[in-house]
Structure 1
Amino acid sequence: MIQLVRDQENGWWMDHPAVPEVMDPLLSFEDVAAYEHVFANALVPGLLQTPRYALAMHEALDVRTEADVIASKVDARVKRQAILDRSPSLHLWVVLDEAVLRRSVGGVDVMAEQIGHLHAIAQSPNVDIQVLQFTAGAHSAGSGGHFLILGRDDEGDPLGSMNVVYLELHKRGLYLDAPAEVQSYKLMFDYLRSQAADTSVSLALLAAARQELTG
């Protein structure tokens, strides 16, 4: 895995002023992953954020930070989303806690646009979004927070297989690659998928959430 990161010498993120060093491995792993599984319990995942949502989020998180620095961070977030358009495509599967849709970031207009974007991109062939409703009650993630699983399971691939978990923490991230730990998070994500509304029902939930905002 260390060698894989070192081999990504020409990634756009290597020289981007707004990408912290702790994110370099994540973006390198993402660049060669076949799939990414995400559980989001508080905010829309970075790969699915609209520019206005990302701006409002950084304005709240980066208090007293200059506007041009925040703009650079939003630019980096938008550039990262190009991974969804690559060939071969990255398969993104996201389980969104319903709290993500109910937490107002940037106001009504920003949230309506953001949820509309989620509804549209969920219909892409390489993106699946499931909503974990409040009515599901207690779930397998328990008190845990946002996490990502990045993987490539094809042993025949010249790059080899890869499985890594990224835990998003305040001001830093934690990478796990021990097989037992990765398997534990994979099992947790499988349980979350089983507890969440299926993709077709989730599309309807997203449409309804947006309708509530727009009237």
Structure 2
Amino acid sequence: MSGEAFPEGLNPLERFGREVREVRKGRKITQRQLGKAVQYSDGYVSKVEAGTLMPSEKFARGCDLAFGTHGLFLRLLRRVEEGDHPSWFLPYLELERKAASILDFSTTSIMGMLQTEDYARAVFRAGHPREAADLITGRVAARVRRRQILEQEDPPTLWVVLHESCLRTLVGGRSVMADQLEHLLHMSETPGVDIQVIPFAAGAAGSHTLAFTLLAFADESTALYVDDVPHGGRLYRSESSVRIALENYDRLRAHALPPDDSRALITSVHKEFRP
């Protein structure tokens, strides 16, 4: 890192940008030259250096290659990302980045990776009513950034089973819900993404099961994440826990509507929220 003493009060994103600027200047590289090296515009570089744009992983890796910093900027980017997540959630995030497939079951709210910005803000504000606005903004940005996993060159497959309660629980108001369901419909058309809904008519099948996520990896191992404690979730890697969760997931899928029928239900509820 540079030897300059940075002003106090810089947030992690601003510190990242300051480091890029100082190392770039130290190497006597212009913003345009750096942009060309990392395959981004000089305007993109400028916004990152100003701390107003969240850099991509590709940008951080490109900086390490251009500067010869051996992973420094990728590590700094991880710190930026981790700064807006609770510590107990970080092990899950690290595994999520490496997963070949993600299986999620949601009970009352839509999974974080599929949330719109306004929906996520409403969720965080409801869960942290006394938290400062800038902290909420940071949490929202961190959640929305998780979508980048699905935008990478070789994204994991994503299979989401959600209870109809997720569609009908009014989070943030009717307009926010309409936009959120529209985003779900868009994601349901994305290759490698499957979305199924368990309707109220299925009875107790999905209404008394805790939300959980299964992460499967290229080495054929699987991890289980469960939201089962008041102040955070837990990761399980034991074969027995994973096996039971996989069996439960198959059962939930069996009680859910097929993808096309699920899309029709989401479309119907979406119309109810539109003015």
Please report the TM-score for the alignment, with normalisation by the length of structure 1.
0.89
Question: Counterparts of 1:14-163 in structure 2 under 5 Å?
Answer: 14-16=79-81, 17-139=83-205, 141=206, 143-152=208-217, 154=218, 160-163=219-222
Give 1:199's match in structure 2, choosing from 259, 269, 272.
Answer: 259
Aligned to 2:60: none
Q: One-letter code of the match for 2:197?
A: V
Aligned partner letter, 1:125: P
Contact 1:33 1:162 in 2 (8 A): no
- 1:12 shift after superposition: 3.8
**Distance (whole Å) between structure 1 residues aligned to residue 210 and residue 78 of structure 2:** 25
1:101 alignment partner, SS class: helix
User: Partner amino acid for 1:189?
Assistant: Y
User: How has the CA–CA distance of structure 1 residues 12 and 194 changed in structure 2, closer, same or farther, with 3 Å as cutoff?
Assistant: farther
One-letter code of the match for 2:99? Answer: A
Number of residues paired by the alignment?
A: 200
Alignment partner of 1:77: what SS? helix
Q: CA–CA distance in 2 between the matches of 1:142 and 1:98?
A: 9
Does 1:165 find its partner at 2:198? Answer: no
Contact 2:107 2:207 in 1 (8 A): no
- Aligned equivalents of 1:78 and 1:213: distance in 2? 23
* Unmatched segments (≥5 aa) in structure 1: 1-8, 155-159
Render the CA deviation track for 1:70-107: whole Å, top value 9, x for unaligned.
Answer: 00000100111111111211111000100011100000
Distance in 2 (CA, whole Å) between partners of 1:200 and 1:15 is: 39
SS of the residue 2:242 aligns to: helix
* Higher-helix-fraction structure: 2
Q: Distance in 1 between matches of 2:164 and 2:170?
A: 12
Query: How far apart in 2 are the matches of 1:84 and 1:37?
Result: 14
What's the counterpart of residue 157 of structure 1? none
Q: In structure 2, the residue corresponding to 1:138 is in which secondary structure?
A: helix
Per-residue displacement from partner, 1:37-73 (whole Å, max 9, x unpaired)?
0000010100000000001111100011000000000
| Contact in 1 for aligned 2:236/2:242 (Cα 8 Å) | yes
Counterpart of 1:181 (choices 241, 253, 275) is 241
CA distance, structure 1, for counterparts of residue 104 and residue 254 of structure 2:
14
- Would you say the 8 A contact 1:42–1:97 is kept in 2? yes
Structure 2 gap ranges (5+): 1-73
Q: Does 1:208 align with 2:268?
A: yes
- Does the 8 Å CA contact 1:131/1:196 hold for their aligned counterparts? yes
**2-structure distance, mates of 1:10, 1:183:** 34
Tell me how large the CA RMSD over aligned residues is.
1.5
State the alpha-carbon separation in 1 of the partners of residues 110 and 119 from structure 2: 9
Per-residue deviation, residues 126-161 of structure 1 (Å, max 9, x unmatched): 11100000001121x562311000012x4xxxxx33
The structure 1 segments of at least 4 consecutive aligned residues displaced by more than 2 Å after TM superposition are 9-16, 141-144
Which position in structure 1 is the counterpart of 2:17?
Answer: none
Identity %: 33
TM-score of the superposed pair, with normalisation by structure 2? 0.70
Shift in Å, 1:11:
7.9
Residue identity in the other structure for 1:42? T
